[in-house]
Amino acid sequence: MDKLKVMTVFGTRPEAIKMAPLVKELEDRPEFESYCCVTAQHRQMLDTVLNIFRIRPQFDLDIMEKSQTLSTITSKCLLGLEEVFRQVRPDLVLVHGDTSTTFAGALAAFYQQIAVGHVEAGLRTWDKYSPFPEEMNRSMVGRLADLHFCPTSANRRNLEAEGISKGLFVTGNTVIDALQTTVVDWFTFDEEVLNCLDYEKKKVILVTCHRRENYGRPMEDIMSALAYIARVHPEAELVYPVHLSPVVQECAHRHLDGIENVHLIAPLDVEEMHNLMARSYLVMTDSGGLQEEAPALGKPVLVLRKETERPEAVEAGTVKLAGVDYGRIVELADRLLDDPAAYQKMAHAVNPYGDGNACGRIADGILYHFGRTDRPPEAFQS
């Protein structure tokens, strides 16, 4: 029987981290002929992930521009992918999550009537503008996709509520597969400041913040709150690898430069990031991926957003929605720094997002969909 031609398409850092173990799985299985196309919506932040996981894409659209707009990303991806799909004619295109690359990848495949598989399907806030534009991207991909790989059963129920009833698989999130390969006890950082921090005596707070819906007032308030927290808690060390977006760079440096216990550093490669998280006291973030990784490592998370499409760890008690209000962020951080009981209540490892076997389930789900096996994969149970 012919091999199934499966093409993975991704472009940003988080997609690359979460697709990398799946690319490996497809390459290792004899049933698949695996192709990888990157749009390079992110350039440097994508390339570090490709290097760490030793992925050599056959196609690279190299679309990134400084201060790119949603329209330029989407149109450049659509045009580039049209050519690539015409050349390869894959049986299935796999996209991930909710970025502009994801939406354009699914739409370009649909235009050529190529089946679409959506990895990390079914996350919803039900708010069109938050996260922006991700909520609409993933909803539209849900309509375009033939296969939906949902991390959790709640994600599956979200799709069912939208009338999607076929091609659904609950697999766990591939980020947990990735996390199992990166965290080690003996890690030495390339970023020297991270080797010098005293992780026993100091309370290291890992910070990230980059979302488009936080641009403007919310991001100003978040950065002011971080500055205040650092100044009143000398026992804390804030480590913030700043996203390369010019908007984020400007705001972070304006508020946080010159504060002794704040370390603004370049984006970390994924191994450094996961190992720093494993050694941190607390995570404060608006990132989606960090909300999934930190609970698995037993680290409390304050989410710097008004809502989350990842309620599972909130329900498990390790993640709190802090919002974007200065007073509330400061209050919650103060409590976790000052009250050991409040901290301990949140600091336990939970794995609602995966068991490390998501990629195997996705590969099995593809084989089942194409009639290459009679048995669907067993659903991930959190």
44 binds, among ligand UDP, ligand UD1, none (CB under 5 to 8 A by kind): ligand UD1
Exactly one of 273, 362, 366, 367 binds ligand UDP (CB under 6 A); that residue is 273
289 binds, among ligand UD1, ligand UDP, none (CB under 5 to 8 A by kind): ligand UDP
Helix and strand element counts for the chain (H, E): 16, 13
Q: Cβ(213)–Cβ(184) under 8 Å?
A: no
SS3 204: strand
Question: Nearest approach, Cβ of 148 to ligand UDP (angstroms)?
Answer: 19
Selected catalytic residue, list 13, 42, 156, 210: 210
DSSP 158-182: HHHHTT--SSEEE---HHHHHHHHH
Give the nearer residue to ligand UDP in terms of CB position, either 95 or 114. Answer: 95
At 281, the amino acid letter reads Y
295 binds ligand UDP (CB under 6 A): no
Selected catalytic residue, list 15, 25, 60, 98: 98
- Exposed, middle or buried by CB within 10 Å (0-12, 13-18, 19+), for 254? exposed
Q: Where are the alpha helices (DSSP H) in the chain?
A: 13-28, 44-52, 70-88, 100-111, 134-144, 153-161, 174-182, 192-196, 217-232, 246-256, 270-279, 288-296, 312-316, 326-338, 340-346, 358-369
Give the nearer residue to ligand UD1 in terms of CB position, either 101 or 158. Answer: 101
Give the nearer residue to ligand UD1 in terms of CB position, either 182 or 245. Answer: 245
166 binds ligand UD1 (CB under 6 A): no
Catalytic residue flag (residue 212): yes
Q: How many CA atoms lie within 13 A of 319 on its CB side?
A: 32
Exactly one of 80, 90, 122, 289 binds ligand UDP (CB under 6 A); that residue is 289
268 binds ligand UDP (CB under 6 A): yes
Catalytic residue flag (residue 254): no
Give, in order, the Cα–Cα distances in Å from 284 to each of 111, 163, 208, 278: 40, 35, 7, 14
The residues that bridge with 200 in the sheet, in sequence order, are none
Selected catalytic residue, list 138, 211, 243, 274: 243
Residue nearest to ligand UD1 (CB): 99
| Phi/psi-derived region of residue 3, left when phi > 0, alpha when psi is between -120 and 50, beta in every other case | beta
Catalytic residue flag (residue 120): yes
Q: Cβ(119)–Cβ(92) under 8 Å?
A: no
Exactly one of 244, 264, 342, 350 binds ligand UD1 (CB under 6 A); that residue is 244
Subset of 263-302 contacting ligand UD1 (CB under 6 A)? none
Binding site for ligand UD1 (CB under 6 A): 12-14, 41-45, 65-68, 70, 73, 98-100, 133-134, 210, 212, 244-246
Active site residues: 98, 120, 134, 210, 212, 243
Binding site for ligand UDP (CB under 6 A): 13-14, 17, 175, 208, 210, 241, 267-268, 270, 273-274, 287-290, 293
